[in-house]
DNA sequence: CGCTTTTGACCTGCGC
DNA sequence: GCGCAGGTCAAAAGCG
């Protein structure tokens, strides 16, 4: 029992926190002795003692007394240490601005008010710093996010281009030839490439003629022309093909021109002819012919912008040189032809003509892709026209019946605040044309209102009249960067089909496949192109009234002269 | 002098 | 094959 009591006391003494309990017991057992420690220990011992052996008891009591003293010292020092630690902790907590309400209260007990207020100030300052750091981090993240997003867009575009290219290559295989004829609308990874196949097949069929002519007679001028085409194509990369100067473009474009095109520097050319005779398969020739057709078609896809303007031209940021003017049938106003002069050999051209019904409306038709860097002012318009041309030619617009005919799609993808509007068909249009009508906006600069109309114009009245652009347009030849965006733009703006008859509408609508819708919906959500479009339209309209002053297209006198002529006519 | 515009001629595609 | 319309060329003229 004694031992057990001793052990109990050892345990109690070792437990520093029990000191108060023991002290309470001391008070109960005190017998007037001065040595409280001793008394306490003895009394405690008495309190617990049920044994008669006093000596042993006392001895044990001495041991415990000593032990307890040590323990008490330990307890006191420990308590002091705790207190000290707590203060340190308080200070540290304050410094890190991590103190809780409890610690604040505790500190208010232990620390004077001066220190407290200083800490609060310190805390506030730290908060501000932390906030600034977080903001900086957030900004950094945003920038990084944007960068990644643009990277992703680029990768997507590249992927799309490669996909189409692969499709084109596959199509040239004999098996693909057969397959493509039946598989009008197929999906590759969710994208509609059926149309591309479709028109590639048609191109293929047309190209057989080239093959025949090339293989039959070595002295045939037609064949020579074809080799000329091949030569031109061979000498240039795909990108450069777009950049061919107009003269060359024209020559290749018009394949039936004969003697005038066959320039007499034929030494190298003869070699090339021979080389092609010896080495090249019909596939190579076919490919070259296809590319030449493609190149010519690039220029044939057009984007038409209708805008109200008193000036002779809308300012689009590019430099243009007038190279011709013609009276067009059915329009008393002459049509002016301009070519881009910002870089030598830029294939971009535009036609400017006033509307015969409303002469305040200026119709500007763009054709081709720039082969040079553009100033910011010209970027938007160029992007738009380039995208439209690319889309038309690449088959992303699944023949005229695809996007145009999809009212549901339009409604669904009405992302931009433009309202769908009526569409019209121009049967006289010789080339696939997209028309952006900016003449119906009450206040064109307020884009929250219905702004424009988009019209698609096919060469003739039927969807299959997009066949001319189906001669194997290689994706490498086109600028795909804006292609998808423009696709989304068109649907966002609200396209309607240009066909007049309800029967055609129904027929066309039936040809819209779900994959197109899906692809378009995905594309429509691209905010980058939305911004580009807004910028483009703003640049068009915003400069309309000022172009004679700040436009770099023509001299004021020229503009004046042209306007006068137009007015006279 | 160099650049741009004008303008008649030429070429091509298409329809008849 | 012919005529028409659209598009382009290139020499001449204009302009700064």
- Give the pLDDT of residue A456: 52
Worst-scoring range by mean pLDDT, A57-66, A163-172, A490-499? A490-499
- Give the pLDDT of residue A455: 52
Q: Which helix (H) or strand (E) holds A286?
A: helix A282-300
Q: How confident is the model at residue A441 (pLDDT cuts 50, 70, 90)?
A: low
- Strand C closer than 7 A to residue A349 Cβ: yes
**A31-58 exposure pattern, b = at least 16 Cβ within 10 A, e = fewer:** eeeeeeeebbbbbbbeebbeeeeeeebe
Q: How confident is the model at residue A375 (pLDDT cuts 50, 70, 90)?
A: confident
Q: Over 80: is that where the pLDDT of A336 sits?
A: yes
Task: Please name the nucleotide lying closest to A322, CA to C1'.
Answer: B5
User: What CATH fold (topology level) applies to the domain A297-393+419-438?
Assistant: N-terminal domain of TfIIb (2.20.25)
**A469-490 exposure pattern, b = at least 16 Cβ within 10 A, e = fewer:** bbbbbbbbbbbbbbbbbbbbbb
- Give the pLDDT of residue A430: 54
Worst-scoring range by mean pLDDT, A68-72, A288-292, A297-301, A449-453? A449-453
- Strand C closer than 7 A to residue A329 Cβ: yes
Q: Over 60: is that where the pLDDT of A334 sits?
A: yes
Q: Over 70: is that where the pLDDT of A194 sits?
A: no
Among A212, A255, A211, A249, residue whose Cα is nearest residue A232: A249
Tell me the backbone φ, ψ of residue A435, rounded to 5 degrees.
-115, 125
Taking the CA of residue A558 and the C1' sugar atom of nucleotide C13, their distance in angstroms comes to 14
Q: Over 70: is that where the pLDDT of A121 sits?
A: yes
For A276-324, the pLDDT digits (tens) are 333 333 344 444 444 444 444 444 667 888 888 877 787 788 888 899 8
Q: Which of residues 421-440 of A touch strand C (CB under 7 A)?
A: 428, 430-431
For A396-422, the pLDDT digits (tens) are 444 333 333 332 332 333 322 233 333
Task: Please name the nucleotide lying closest to A254, CA to C1'.
Answer: B12
Taking the CA of residue A323 and the C1' sugar atom of nucleotide C12, their distance in angstroms comes to 14
Q: Over 70: is that where the pLDDT of A192 sits?
A: no
The answer to whether A307 and A314 are in contact (CB under 8 A) is yes
Q: How confident is the model at residue A473 (pLDDT cuts 50, 70, 90)?
A: very low
Mean pLDDT on A312-340: 86
Task: Please name the nucleotide lying closest to A558, CA to C1'.
Answer: B5
Q: Average pLDDT, whole number, for chain A?
A: 49
Q: Which of residues 252-311 of A touch strand C (CB under 7 A)?
A: 299
Running DSSP on this structure, what letter comes out for residue A320? E
The answer to whether A556 and A548 are in contact (CB under 8 A) is yes
Q: Over 70: is that where the pLDDT of A31 sits?
A: no
Q: How confident is the model at residue A359 (pLDDT cuts 50, 70, 90)?
A: confident
For A210-219, the pLDDT digits (tens) are 333 333 333 3
How many Å apart are CA A91 and CA A102, to the nearest integer? 14
Q: How confident is the model at residue A273 (pLDDT cuts 50, 70, 90)?
A: very low
- CB-neighbour burial class of residue A106 (10 A; exposed 0-12, middle 13-18, buried 19+): middle
Mean pLDDT on A329-345: 85
Strand C nucleotides where any atom sits below 7 Å of a protein CB: 4-10, 15-16
For A104-113, the pLDDT digits (tens) are 444 444 445 5
The answer to whether A406 and A517 are in contact (CB under 8 A) is yes
Question: What is the domain partition of chain A in residue ranges?
Answer: 297-393+419-438
For A493-547, the pLDDT digits (tens) are 333 333 333 333 333 333 333 334 333 343 333 444 444 454 454 444 444 433 3
Q: From the CA atom positions of chain A, what is the Rg in Å?
A: 43
């Amino acid at each position: 029992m004694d031992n057990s009591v001793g052990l109990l006391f050892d345990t109690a003494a070792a437990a520093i926190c029990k000191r108060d309990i023991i002290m309470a017991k001391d008070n109960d057992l005190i017998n007037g002795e001065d040595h409280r420690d001793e008394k306490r220990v003895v009394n405690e011992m008495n309190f617990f003692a049920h044994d008669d052996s006093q000596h042993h008891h006392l001895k044990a009591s001495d041991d415990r007394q000593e032990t307890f003293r040590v323990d008490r010292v330990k307890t006191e020092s420990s308590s002091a240490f705790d207190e000290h630690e707590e203060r340190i902790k308080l200070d540290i907590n304050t410094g890190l601005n991590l103190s809780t309400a409890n610690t604040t209260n505790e500190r208010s007990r232990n620390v004077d008010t001066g220190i407290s207020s200083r800490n609060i100030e310190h805390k506030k300052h730290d908060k501000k710093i932390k906030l600034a750091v977080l903001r900086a981090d957030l900004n950094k993240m945003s920038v990084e996010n944007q960068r990644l997003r643009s990277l992703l867009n680029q990768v997507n575009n590249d992927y799309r281009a490669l996909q189409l290219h692969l499709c084109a290559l596959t199509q040239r295989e004999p098996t693909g030839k057969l397959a493509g004829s039946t598989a009008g609308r197929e999906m590759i990874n969710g994208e509609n490439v059926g149309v591309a196949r479709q028109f590639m097949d048609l191109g293929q069929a047309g190209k057989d003629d080239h093959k025949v002519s090339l293989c039959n007679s070595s002295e045939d001028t037609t064949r020579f022309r074809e080799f000329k085409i091949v030569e031109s194509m061979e000498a240039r990369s795909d990108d450069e093909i777009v950049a061919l100067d107009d003269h060359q473009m024209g020559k290749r474009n018009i394949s039936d021109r004969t003697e005038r095109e066959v320039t007499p520097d034929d030494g190298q050319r003869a070699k090339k002819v021979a080389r092609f005779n010896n080495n090249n398969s019909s596939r190579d020739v076919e490919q070259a012919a296809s590319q030449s057709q493609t190149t010519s078609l690039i220029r044939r896809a057009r984007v038409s912008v209708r805008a109200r303007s008193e000036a002779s031209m809308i300012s689009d940021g590019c430099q243009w040189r007038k190279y011709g003017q013609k009276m067009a049938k059915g329009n008393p106003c002459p049509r002016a032809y301009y070519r881009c002069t910002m870089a030598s050999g830029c294939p971009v051209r535009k036609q400017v003509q006033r509307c015969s019904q409303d002469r305040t409306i200026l119709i500007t038709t763009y054709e081709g892709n720039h082969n040079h860097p553009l100033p910011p002012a010209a970027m938007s318009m160029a992007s738009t026209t380039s995208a439209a041309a690319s889309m038309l030619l690449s088959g992303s617009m699944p023949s005229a019946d695809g996007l145009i005919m999809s009212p549901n799609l339009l409604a669904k993808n009405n992302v931009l605040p433009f309202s769908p509007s009526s569409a019209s068909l121009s049967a006289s249009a010789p080339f696939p044309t997209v028309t952006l009508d900016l003449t119906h906006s009450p206040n064109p600069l307020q884009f929250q209102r219905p702004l424009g109309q988009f019209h698609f114009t096919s060469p003739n009245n039927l969807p299959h009249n997009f066949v001319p652009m189906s001669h194997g347009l290689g994706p490498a030849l086109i600028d795909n960067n804006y292609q998808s965006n423009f696709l989304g733009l068109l649907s966002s703006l609200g396209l309607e089909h240009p066909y007049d008859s309800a029967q055609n509408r129904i027929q066309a609508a039936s040809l819209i496949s779900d994959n197109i819708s899906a692809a378009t919906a995905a594309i429509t959500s691209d905010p980058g192109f939305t911004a580009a479009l807004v910028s483009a339209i703003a640049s068009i309209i915003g400069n309309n009234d000022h172009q004679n002053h700040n436009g770099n297209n023509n001299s004021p006198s020229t503009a004046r002269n042209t306007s006068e002529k137009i007015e006279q006519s």
